[in-house]
Amino acid sequence: MFNTIEKVRYLKPTFKFAQALSIALLFSANTFSQTNVLFGERNLINERPAIFFDKNGTIYPDHFIPDSLLRSSDASLDTFYLKHTNKFRIIAQQYNCSFGNYSPQNAVQLQDSIFSKIRNSINQKYPDTIQLTFLVHGFRKSFVNKPGNYTSVIDYNILEDTLKKLSTKPSGIIRVFWDGMYGEISFKRKRYKAMFCAFVQSQTNAVNVGKSLRKFVSELPNHQLNFISHSLGARVVCTALFDTTVDHSPTPSQQTVNICLIAPAIDGSVFNHYYERSTAVDFKSRDNYRLLILYNKKDFVLRKRDYIFGMFGPGPNRYGKTTLGCDHRHEICKLQNSFKDDFPHSEIEVENMTKVIEKCHHLRCYCRGENLKGLIKFIEQ
């Protein structure tokens, strides 16, 4: 998240200078101008199966949409459809929907048609005997190339290469792209709160996307589903797989659903609703869900503290709780104990990556060498 740190990590400043430098580094979003991540101008010829969501969880059609029109529509596909009825009609026809005009009901039907087409293409590419693995990125991941930044595409390439290198069983990889917000970072103005505010907005986006993703994955025929998320992607995955207190749409009933959360930018209370599911599976007797958490006590991004001293910053409880992934106040142990008490027939495994990862939060740090060997073993056992 904070690439400027690499330039100064080996300096040996005085304490006062270091204190100022540390604060500057933590809040290096001084000119953080938050913006939505748009996918309207993506290359539509993509050999890798992927699903693209806007901030409301509305799925992108396979149709070129100028980013300028999306920006003027508040980064919302529904608003874009409402403002550009002719384009909505053309896109609907592309998916065999004969609509005259935009309406919320027609938009829902179009979304169902897009989901159906993607689902059919996945079924054709991967038989139901093949496990499907969904990759879900986190906060502040641009889609287009940005100098000095690792985009969501680059991260997925690194992760997918690692999975293929370490795996012994075939898997169908499906990439999930969502609007996790983005903004450039520099030192010019004192607006450090902007990035944290963008993170709060991204949490809302993650919940919206998770609800839509649930409707998609619940109808897949494959016997095993794997979900691998990084950072705030955990919020997307958890929303998709449980907590039906608001959205009662079906949750996956596959024989095995592996949930692998890498450096999850959430808190343990998310799992209070772990058994809130809508399925015919008797999961309280023998759970079809299996949970793995890779955490890092020194993760300075999740701790929301400065990189050098770990003393300055709002902490993991402000601007959206990120206490689980950094094991703040032994939250990992607390979650394990709650599983023993409340979900005794549900499997949970944790892996402490602190010594291996040190302070790094980047997905590429987890993908180095055989760092994900434990994750692969968990999925394939």
**Total domains, the chain:** 1
Q: In sequence order, what are the beta bridge partners of 258?
A: 226, 290
Angstrom CA distances, 319 to 10, 23, 86, 125, 270, stand at: 29, 17, 40, 41, 16
- Neighbour-count burial of 169, counting CB atoms closer than 10 A to its CB (0-12 exposed, 13-18 middle, 19+ buried): exposed
- Give the integer Cα–Cα distance in Å for 312 and 322: 16
Among positive and negative, which fits the CA dihedral 229, 204, 179, 201? Answer: negative
- Domain annotation covers residue 111: no
- Which residue, among 168, 232, 180, has the nearest Cα to 205 in the 3D structure? 180
Domain encompassing residue 178: 3-64+128-380
- Token pair for residue 276? 């809130």
Q: Are 178 and 206 in contact (CB under 8 A)?
A: yes
Strands (E), the chain: 50-52, 131-136, 171-177, 224-230, 256-262, 289-295, 347-352
- Domain annotation covers residue 112: no
- Domain annotation covers residue 46: yes
* CATH number for the domain that contains residue 134: 3.40.50
- Domain annotation covers residue 121: no
- Give the integer Cα–Cα distance in Å for 381 and 261: 17
- Domain annotation covers residue 203: yes
- Token pair for residue 300? 């300075």
pLDDT at 29: 39
- Domain annotation covers residue 79: no
- Domain annotation covers residue 107: no
183-214 confidence digits (pLDDT tens) = 876 544 445 677 888 999 999 999 999 999 99
- Give the integer Cα–Cα distance in Å for 83 and 94: 19
Per-residue pLDDT of the chain (381 residues; tens, 9 = 90+): 444 333 334 334 444 444 444 444 444 434 556 799 999 999 998 778 999 999 999 999 999 999 999 999 999 999 999 999 999 999 999 999 988 899 999 999 999 999 999 999 999 999 999 999 999 999 999 999 877 789 999 999 999 999 999 999 999 999 999 999 998 765 444 456 778 889 999 999 999 999 999 999 989 999 999 999 999 999 999 999 999 887 889 999 999 999 999 999 999 999 999 999 999 999 999 999 999 999 999 999 999 998 888 888 899 999 999 999 999 999 999 999 999 999 999 999 999 999 999 999 999 999 999 999 999 999 999
